[in-house]
Chain A
Amino acid sequence: MDNVCSLADKAQKIRRHIIRMIGDAGVGHPGGCLSGVEIVTALYFVVMRVRPEEPKWPDRDRFILSKGHASALLYGVLAERGYFTVDELATFRRPWSKLAGHPDMNKVPGVDMTTGSLGQGLSVANGIAIAAKYDGRDSRVYILLGDGEVQEGQVWEAAMSAAHYRLDNVTAFIDRNGLQIDGPTEKVMGVEPLADKWRCFGWHVIEIDGHDYRQILDAVDEARKVEGKPTMVIARTLKGKGVCFMEGKVEWHGKAPAGDLYEQAKRELGCE
């Protein structure tokens, strides 16, 4: 397999979509979209068994974007994967658009769960995983959580139940970019030691560089082999990755680039 080169190309395209959607709309969350690009791209282009022409195919693998504010990332990936046209991305956050600031499963083909209020995704992933096991389907559930999101108590309720019910068909990623709206996670409300916490809760934990495709794909393979435990992949990432003035800057959590900065971002990403 040499997916890695083509994945890098896809990722660059998706970064362009993200910046265009958010820049043109004048609103959105670029920082946490750009940090999660490699993870979600790898899932939809290599890992997950899906049929874009049949989005509700019952035997598909599922993906839940628990950090729903990164909707532009999901929309960019889904459009590139063929769920809807790339042209539609221009409607992002426009009046009456399907593509709202947080994804709605009943409006957007390919969105497996409506999300936006933080902390709710993992419980839903567990429910899907329980149903898959009951039905004897080998489909798997993937989920992306924010690192600030794990401050929500419901995440730990769900962490407990996934381990208790031995949901080894759940593979979760934490986009560990270290920043949330009000500042560094460790300053706002420390979440470390993150890996130890998940291990204590009974999860198999893998720590990777979340921008490295090999490590992402290896982590997914490792998770597939784990029996009796859900897997948490803690992916160290860089908020705003790919746009130099956004990288590692908390102010780009939920702000659209405008004017010269928007032009610069597009240039850096090679937008035509």
Chain B
Amino acid sequence: MVVSTRDAYGDVLVELGGRNEDIFVLDADLAESTRTFKFGEKYPRRYYNMGIAEQDMIGTAAGLALSGKIPFVSTFAVFAAMRGAEQVRTSICYPRLNVKIVTTHSGLSVGTAGATHFCEEDLAIMRAIPNMTVIAPSDAVQTRLAVAAAAAYDGPVYMRLGRGDSPVIYKELDYEIGKAVTVCEGDDVTIVATGVMVLRAMKAAEKLRADKIGARVIDMHTLKPLDKDAIVRAVAETRGIITLEEHNVIGGLGAAVAETVAEEGAKVKVRRLGIPDVFGDTAAAELLWDKYGMSVANICAVAKELIKR
């Protein structure tokens, strides 16, 4: 089954909105793209289109949270996390207000729209803001659970979703913010992936298995707080760690994992796969992922190189 995470988001918002009258949704003229229009159709009194004004949207959400509402704010990742970064920091995270920022079109997912609409910086930015919880679900099933968990959690949450249709990974799942999911077991190498990259990690693990290499795949859906136990176990039980994310290799998942490994004083190599600190070229996301070293073949090659050492 193939479902986009943003469709799952739009649907689960409607469900949650029916159960919880405190949920408000705000969008910045991208309701069709983020799928929040579905909530707007069902609950018009709790739905606000704020126009092309992300900073105001984020501040308005802060005000709603001050009155006990649970606002979900949505637009493309680049506009919420970067244009509104200081509003997120100062008006939401500093006072620790109960606002959920759920963005779509993250990473390179807008493809031929070009680099202005890519967002390869959001995880780094959001991770560096105190009080912020940072989540990147890997499929539609997890997205539904993560959005519900975010609604139930009291405090600021940033969540990044993709754009395109993505195969469903999970049939069912016990979801807990901050608790990674081991999707494949393996004792030779660990691939820690987040968001849309989890599926590629699983495909790489399958190929490696054919070559008699056991690759563990960890779905690190929460980047902050990071599940350090999962990393520490991987350090103890496998010979190398590959991180995989649709984000600049600087500051995101790879950085978070490398920090943990270094702090543990572990003698295990970490290889970070992601966008190699460049602005993305113009092509469909899948082609860009391949170009920037996130192809299944390259993941396998890096895994083999790691084990050799």
B90 touches A165 (CB 8 A): no
Instruction: Please tell me which stretch of B62-70, B111-119, B271-279, B288-296 contacts chain A, meaning at least 4 of its Cβ atoms lie within 8 angstroms of it.
Output: B62-70
Q: Are B95 and A123 in contact (CB under 8 A)?
A: no
Query: A residues within 8 A CB of B71?
Result: 127
Given A131-B64, A161-B51, A161-B56, A124:B91 Cβ within 8 A: yes
Given contacts A128-B67, A129-B63, 19 further A-B pairs with CB under 8 A are A62-B66, A104-B94, A116-B90, A117-B90, A123-B56, A123-B62, A123-B87, A126-B56, A126-B60, A126-B63, A127-B59, A127-B62, A127-B63, A127-B66, A128-B66, A134-B69, A154-B55, A157-B53, A160-B56
Please report which residues of chain A, range 122-164, place their CB below 8 angstroms from some CB of chain B when the two chains form the complex.
122-132, 134-135, 153-154, 157-158, 160-161, 164
User: Once A and B bind, how many residue pairs between them come within 8 Å at the CB atom?
Assistant: 103
Given that A117-B86, A153-B55, A161-B53 are contacting pairs, would A128 and B91 also be in contact in the complex, using a CB cutoff of 8 Å? no
Specify which chain A residues have a CB less than 8 angstroms from the CB of B64 in the assembled complex. Answer: 127-128, 130-131
Complex partner residue of A131 from B50, B57, B67, B86, CB under 8 angstroms: B67
Q: Which of these, B53, B60, B69, B96, contacts A124 with CB under 8 Å?
A: B60
Given known contacts A123-B58, A123-B59, A127-B66, A113 and B90 CB-to-CB distance under 8 angstroms: no
Closest to B55 in A: A154
**Interface check A58, CB cutoff 8 A:** yes
Docked-complex contact B55 and A131, CB < 8 angstroms: no
Q: Which residues 207-237 in A have Cβ within 8 Å of B in the complex?
A: none
- How many angstroms from the CA of A128 to the CA of B69 in the assembled complex? 10
Most buried by B among A125, A131, A165: A131
**Considering residues B53, B65, B67, B90, which has the most beta carbons from chain A within 10 angstroms of its beta carbon?**
B67
CB contacts under 8 Å to A, within B4-32, are: none
Q: Does A106 count as interface, using CB distance less than 8 angstroms?
A: yes
Shortest distance between the CB of A13 and any CB in chain B (Å) = 29
List 11 interface pairs A-B (beta carbons < 8 Å), by A numbering: A106-B95, A119-B55, A121-B59, A123-B55, A126-B56, A127-B62, A127-B66, A127-B71, A132-B67, A134-B45, A135-B67
Return the chain A residue nearest B71 by Cβ. Answer: A127
The answer to whether the Cβ of A180 comes within 8 Å of any Cβ in the partner chain is: no
Partner of A157, one of B48, B56, B62, B63: B56
A264 interface hit (Cβ, 8 Å): no
> Which of A104, A119, A157 is most buried by chain B, counting CB atoms within 10 A of its CB?
A157
Residue B269 interfacial (CB < 8 Å)? no
4 tightest Cβ-Cβ pairs between the two chains A and B: A127-B63, A123-B59, A131-B67, A157-B56
A120 interface hit (Cβ, 8 Å): yes
Select from chain B the residue with minimum beta-carbon distance to A124.
B63
Give A126 to B53 CA distance when docked, in angstroms.
14
Inter-chain contacts of A125 with B (CB < 8 A): 63
Chain A residue nearest in CB terms to B94? A114
Q: Bound state CA distance, A119 and B60, in angstroms?
A: 12
Interface assignment of B61: CB less than 8 Å from any CB of chain A:
yes
Chain B residues with CB under 8 A of A106: 95-96
> CB of B46 within 8 A of chain A?
yes
How many chain B residues have a CB neighbour from A under 8 Å? 29
Residue contact A154 to B59, C-beta cutoff 8 Å: yes
Residues B55 and A114 in contact, CB atoms below 8 Å apart: no
In the bound complex, residues from chain B placing their C-beta under 8 Å from that of A120 are 55, 59, 87, 90-91
With A130-B60, A154-B56 known as contacts, the answer to whether A123 contacts B66 (CB < 8 A) is no
B95 contact set on A, CB distance < 8 A: 104-106, 113-114
Task: Determine whether A112 belongs to the interface, using a CB cutoff of 8 Å to chain B.
Answer: yes
The DSSP consensus for interface residues of chain A is helix
Using a CB–CB distance below 8 Å, which chain B residues touch chain A?
A: 45-46, 48, 50-51, 53, 55-69, 71, 86-87, 90-91, 94-96
The CA of A38 and the CA of B282, in the complex, are separated in Å by 58
The answer on a CB contact under 8 Å between B61 and A127 is yes
CA of A149 to CA of B302, assembled, Å = 52
Instruction: Please give the distance in Å from A135's CB to the nearest CB on chain B.
Output: 7
A127 and chain B: residue at smallest CB distance: B63
Q: How far is the CA of A58 from the CA of B55 in the complex (A)?
A: 26
Q: Which residue of A lies closest to B45 (CB)?
A: A134
**Docked pose: A165 CA to B96 CA in angstroms:** 26
Which residue of chain A lies nearest to B91 when distances are taken between CB atoms in the complex? A120
- Inside 8 A of B65's CB, which chain A residues have their CB? 127
- Complex: how many Å from CA A91 to CA B195? 47
Complex alpha-carbon distance, A58 and B68, angstroms: 9
A130 pairs with B48, CB closer than 8 A: yes
B48–A165 CB distance below 8 A? yes
CA distance A62 to B62 in the complex (A): 14
| A132 CB to nearest B CB, Å | 7
Name the B residues within 8 Å of A160 (CB-CB): 51, 53, 56
B28: nearest residue on chain A (CB-CB)? A157
Docked complex Cα distance between A81 and B286 (Å):
62
Chain B residues contacting A154 (CB-CB under 8 Å) are: 53, 55-56, 59, 87
- Asked if B67 and A123 sit within 8 Å, CB to CB, the answer is no
Write out the residue numbers on chain A whose beta carbons fall within 8 Å of the beta carbon of B94: 104, 114
Which of A58, A116, A127, A128: most chain B Cβ within 10 A?
A127
Residue numbers in B under 8 Å from A132 (CB-CB): 67
Kindly list chain A residues whose C-beta atoms are within 8 Å of the C-beta of B56: 123, 126, 154, 157-158, 160-161
Most buried by B among A116, A120, A122, A135: A120
Q: State how many angstroms separate the Cβ of B138 from the closest Cβ of chain A.
A: 32
